[in-house]
Amino acid sequence: MREVFVVSDNILSPLGSTTAENLDRLKKGFSGIQMHDRTDMSPKPFYASLIPDNILHDDKKSLTRFEKAIITSVEDALKQTSLDITGKDTVLIISSTKGNISLLETEDQNNSLKEKISLPHSAELIASHFHFSNQPVIISHACISGLLAIITGMRLIQSGQFENAVITGADMITKFVLSGFQSFQAISPEPCKPFDAKRKGISLGEGAATLILSAEKKYSPSKIKITGGSVSNDANHISGPSRTGEELFLAMNKAMKQANVSKNEIDFISAHGTATLYNDDMEAKAINLADMQSIPVNSLKGYYGHTLGAAGLIESIISIHSLSDNIILPTLGFDKPGTAKPIHVSNKMQTGNYKKVLKTASGFGGCNAAMVMCKDEG
């Protein structure tokens, strides 16, 4: 099976418009989560991580914030590589959970609106902007969308269908999105605290990210590889995760088997870590089922909030650079353990010789995903 290498990447968030800016802010302990008094989104102030409009691509006024965020992110990732993405050997994969759903709040209900809010419409605009030859692939699978998009790109390259994959994703926070989570009483009244005993729920966030993969090692300055990935479903409840964690454990186990790595070879786990009571408990149970409870675990939600369709991409990119920099970032907001099963939550910056990381994600409908990233030692 062919190897899959990381070529370049971008993270666009309130912490910065490049991955380098984001990493610098993360290492200094900054968070994009702030109190916002936005009556257009909520009658009460709320904590969230929102992107300022002035850092978004603005050449075309007709584009939405969602489309501008993706184009801005892809443009920066492409600047870092000489790879030609316009040929038939490159696939564009777009990840989002909500896309342009916010247009329902501002535009008249008609056939034109139906087209604008469809993800295929946005995907065609983005593909045309960059002159991709192939029809874009859309991944919209709740909160595992970003991670599933990377796994899909990995599989398309491993199978020989494509040589390269440009994987990008974004989600914007709107009244529609925020009110949905508020109806579940899932929004934290303070910045979220993943895995902490006093966690009170999610903080939402806006973000966009791009990861370019290739079968050609020569395009990869970091020599980081995507080596395995798997997806599962608990079939437990539309919004409540598995009570046992067994299904996420199955995805973790299959991803490691495909990557041909053992649990003892994983240096750290980049968890989903939404800071809700049930998600964090479920992840802790899955990690214990895998007998990996002594391996350092971190969640990045305290820095970014939950960025929905961009979360798996943003957190995977940070994990890739953590491997390159030989660091494990702390879990911002974590103070005291508070999960049903004990896990080793990283609460301070760690350094070492790190080679392999396991990334996990879970989402509504009981979906789970896991992926392994490794340094190339060849």
CATH assignment at residue 353? 3.40.47.10
Residue 112 banded pLDDT, cuts 50, 70, 90: confident
Rg (CA), the chain: 19
* 98 and 240 co-located in one domain: no
Residue 102 banded pLDDT, cuts 50, 70, 90: confident
Q: Reduce the DSSP state of residue 225 to 3 states and report it.
A: strand
Helix, strand, coil % in the chain, rounded to nearest 5? 35, 25, 40
Q: Is the pLDDT of residue 239 over 90?
A: no
* Rounded Cα gap, residues 273 and 72, in angstroms: 27
Query: 199 or 104: whose pLDDT is higher?
Result: 199
Residue where one domain finishes, among candidates 219, 238, 270: 219
Range of lowest pLDDT (18-32, 48-62, 203-217, 292-306) = 48-62
Read off the pLDDT of each residue in 320-341 and give the average, rounded to a whole number: 98
Sign, Cα dihedral of 308, 203, 36, 304: negative
Cα separations (Å) of 151 from 25, 158, 197? 28, 10, 32
* 124 and 97 co-located in one domain: yes
Element spanning 249, H or E: helix 246-259
* 197 and 254 co-located in one domain: no
> What pLDDT shows up at residue 179?
94
Residue 238 banded pLDDT, cuts 50, 70, 90: confident
The domain of 279 spans 224-375
Read off the pLDDT of each residue in 297-312 and give the average, rounded to a whole number: 98
Q: Hey, how many other C-beta atoms are within 10 angstroms of the C-beta on 339?
A: 23
* 141 and 196 co-located in one domain: yes
Residue 47 banded pLDDT, cuts 50, 70, 90: very high
Sign, Cα dihedral of 289, 336, 355, 19: positive
* 119 and 86 co-located in one domain: yes
> Could you tell me if residue 275 is left (phi over 0), alpha (psi between -120 and 50 degrees) or otherwise beta?
left
> What pLDDT shows up at residue 357?
98
* 196 and 252 co-located in one domain: no
Residue 248 banded pLDDT, cuts 50, 70, 90: very high
DSSP 265: G
* 168 and 268 co-located in one domain: no
Q: Give the HSE-up count for residue 256: Cα atoms under 13 Å, Cβ half-sphere.
A: 23
- Please return the burial class of 262, using the count of CB atoms within 10 Å of its CB with bins 0-12, 13-18 and 19+: exposed
Q: How many domains does the chain have?
A: 2
Read off the pLDDT of each residue in 257-283 and give the average, rounded to a whole number: 97
* 208 and 154 co-located in one domain: yes
pTM listed for this prediction: 0.97
> What pLDDT shows up at residue 104?
87
Residue where one domain finishes, among candidates 202, 219, 236: 219
* 186 and 59 co-located in one domain: yes
Residue where one domain finishes, among candidates 219, 241, 268: 219
Q: Is the pLDDT of residue 339 over 90?
A: yes
* 280 and 154 co-located in one domain: no
Residue 311 banded pLDDT, cuts 50, 70, 90: very high
Percentage above 90 pLDDT, the chain: 89
Q: Is the pLDDT of residue 338 over 70?
A: yes
> What pLDDT shows up at residue 184?
86
Read off the pLDDT of each residue in 232-243 and give the average, rounded to a whole number: 88
Cα separations (Å) of 335 from 31, 162, 345? 16, 45, 9
* 257 and 367 co-located in one domain: yes
Spatial contact of 205 and 13, defined as CB atoms under 8 Å apart: yes
Q: Is the pLDDT of residue 60 over 70?
A: no
> What pLDDT shows up at residue 51?
95
> What pLDDT shows up at residue 59?
66
Task: Please state, rounded to an integer, the average pLDDT across all residues of the chain.
Answer: 95
* Rounded Cα gap, residues 284 and 172, in angstroms: 29
* 71 and 118 co-located in one domain: yes
Q: Is the pLDDT of residue 110 over 90?
A: no
Q: What residue spans of 174-237 are helical by DSSP H?
A: 175-183
* Rounded Cα gap, residues 345 and 355, in angstroms: 19
> What pLDDT shows up at residue 252?
98
